[in-house]
Structure 1
Amino acid sequence: MTKRKVFCIGFHKTGTSSLGVALEKLGYRVTGYYPFRELAQQDEVALPELEKLAIEVAADYDAAQDSPWPILYRQMDKAFPGSRFIHITRDRDAWINSALKDFDTNPNAMRKLIYGAPYPRHNEAIWLERYDQHNSDVKAYFKDRPDDFISLDLEKGEVNWENICSFLGEPVPTIPWPHANRRGIKKQKMLLYKVLETLGLKSP
């Protein structure tokens, strides 16, 4: 039986990488940011261009997480009827502090499209306003659709096997919930991406 597609639509730095690993352990083929890396390195990226690529990529996978997927929930809902959407939030101060540690003043065209500013340092208020607006918009869009949408608070411990598996109708694994985006692991992932790009290969 074909799995219903799953889109993780919480902004990055909310535990989406760990959710992606969890979905893989449940048997989902998961994609993320990697297919959009070339677009993100451009001076500008247009939303229609992003939408077109996202639909093409999503067709080949069961689930998606990380940027730019959160801002494309309307398009994915339309393109793939019956999909499920997982929205994760966390304390806004903890979120911006995590973004500052990872992105600082490093520009990125896709982050500029999402937030209106290419990096969080000195743009904290802009990023936080967008974060709040996204979370509000998502909840309003999926209001009264509990079969398709779940919103979980990372810092309340709501992101766990029990809640995810109950929502997706999957058996609960006996292994601990994964923690995928610790700094050492992230550095290893970025090194792997660079090696794959050099070899002209796709990410696993």
Structure 2
Amino acid sequence: MKQADVRPKVFCIGLNKTGTTSWAYAMAELGYIVGSETKATMFFDDWVRKDFSRIIDYCRTQGQAFQDIPFNLPGTYREMDHAFPESKFVLTVRDTADAWFHSLINFHGKYWSLSGHIPPTTEDLARAVYWRRGFLADYCREVFKTPISDPYNRELLLDFYNDYNKEVVNYFTDRPGDFLVLNVSQAGAYYRLCGFLGLPSGKGEFPWLNRT
């Protein structure tokens, strides 16, 4: 077995629009096999049902590093921690909750607002196709718990961001070898990731991908 094959799984559990794409790119550069985000997103409905069996099976065979849906959905990190006891977890964050909110609505507006409205309207989300039609509307309802009439309610989303991050940090309290909070925009973030993974760092900074 190659050395790469016996590496612990690494899960990026930061919310979308916290630098997760840049993290995945860096992990690939570091020699990790990064699981397909497109394939993993299709387990969203499994997460809604709180059935993690297919997600766990996917992780056993389809990569060494994983990010975004369903791994950054509330509660998934607990299931992955139990299924893969030697795994590591990275919580990517933005400078502020407000910075995350604006990045999120700008990104969603850029790709899924048929009306040109930022954030997308309820009607936009119902028509938008990402994996399947209506997925984004389901996502806002199931994950953010926002009302159908106001899917990007600012106060609810800011609370969601802060509450999710606090919950994750509390779960991994006193486990510095297993858990890292990382802001990829900060100087030295790449070195911190490499140190956390026990790897030498050959470059200085993260690439900035999917910026909004």
Q: Fold-level match, TM-score > 0.5?
A: yes
User: Residues 100 and 147 (structure 1 numbering): CA distance in 2 closer, same or farther, change over 3 Å?
Assistant: same
Q: For 1:3 and 1:178, how far apart are their aligned partners in 2?
A: 23
Percentage of pairs with the same residue: 32
User: Residues 28 and 98 (structure 1 numbering): CA distance in 2 closer, same or farther, change over 3 Å?
Assistant: same
Task: Identify the residue that residue 64 of structure 1 maps to in structure 2.
Answer: 66
Aligned partner (choices 112, 117, 142) of residue 141 of structure 2: 112
Q: For 1:129 and 1:152, how far apart are their aligned partners in 2?
A: 20
Number of aligned positions between the proteins: 179
User: Residues 115 and 28 (structure 1 numbering): CA distance in 2 closer, same or farther, change over 3 Å?
Assistant: same
Consecutive unaligned residues of structure 1, counting only runs of 5 or more, are: 184-204
Does 2:10 align with 1:6? yes
| CA apart distance, 1:22 | 0.3
Q: SS of 1:69's equivalent?
A: coil
Q: Which moved more, 1:121-130 or 1:143-152?
A: 121-130
Q: For 1:158 and 1:86, how far apart are their aligned partners in 2?
A: 15
**Is the 1:9–1:65 contact (alpha carbons within 8 Å) kept by the matching residues of 2?**
yes
Q: SS of 2:155's equivalent?
A: helix
Q: For 1:152 and 1:175, how far apart are their aligned partners in 2?
A: 15
| CA apart distance, 1:110 | 3.4
| CA apart distance, 1:66 | 1.2
Query: 1:2-36: CA deviations, max 9, x gaps?
Result: 11110001111110100001001111111253124
Listed as ranges, the matches of 1:89-104 within 5 Å are 89-90=93-94, 91-103=96-108, 104=119
| CA apart distance, 1:176 | 4.9
Q: For 2:200 and 2:47, how far apart are their aligned partners in 1?
A: 40
| CA apart distance, 1:116 | 1.3
**Is the 1:108–1:118 contact (alpha carbons within 8 Å) kept by the matching residues of 2?**
no
- What amino acid maps onto 1:135 in structure 2? N
User: Residues 136 and 45 (structure 1 numbering): CA distance in 2 closer, same or farther, change over 3 Å?
Assistant: closer
User: Residues 100 and 54 (structure 1 numbering): CA distance in 2 closer, same or farther, change over 3 Å?
Assistant: same
Q: SS of 1:87's equivalent?
A: strand
Higher helix share: 1
Listed as ranges, the matches of 1:52-91 within 5 Å are 52-60=53-61, 61-70=63-72, 71=74, 72-90=76-94, 91=96
User: Residues 48 and 57 (structure 1 numbering): CA distance in 2 closer, same or farther, change over 3 Å?
Assistant: same
- What amino acid maps onto 2:20 in structure 1? T
Listed as ranges, the matches of 1:1-204 within 5 Å are 1=3, 2-38=6-42, 46-49=48-51, 51-60=52-61, 61-70=63-72, 71=74, 72-90=76-94, 91-103=96-108, 104-105=119-120, 106=125, 107-117=136-146, 122-157=152-187, 159-160=189-190, 162-174=191-203, 176-182=205-211
| CA apart distance, 1:151 | 0.8
Consecutive unaligned residues of structure 2, counting only runs of 5 or more, are: 109-118, 126-135
**Is the 1:39–1:110 contact (alpha carbons within 8 Å) kept by the matching residues of 2?**
no
Q: SS of 2:189's equivalent?
A: coil
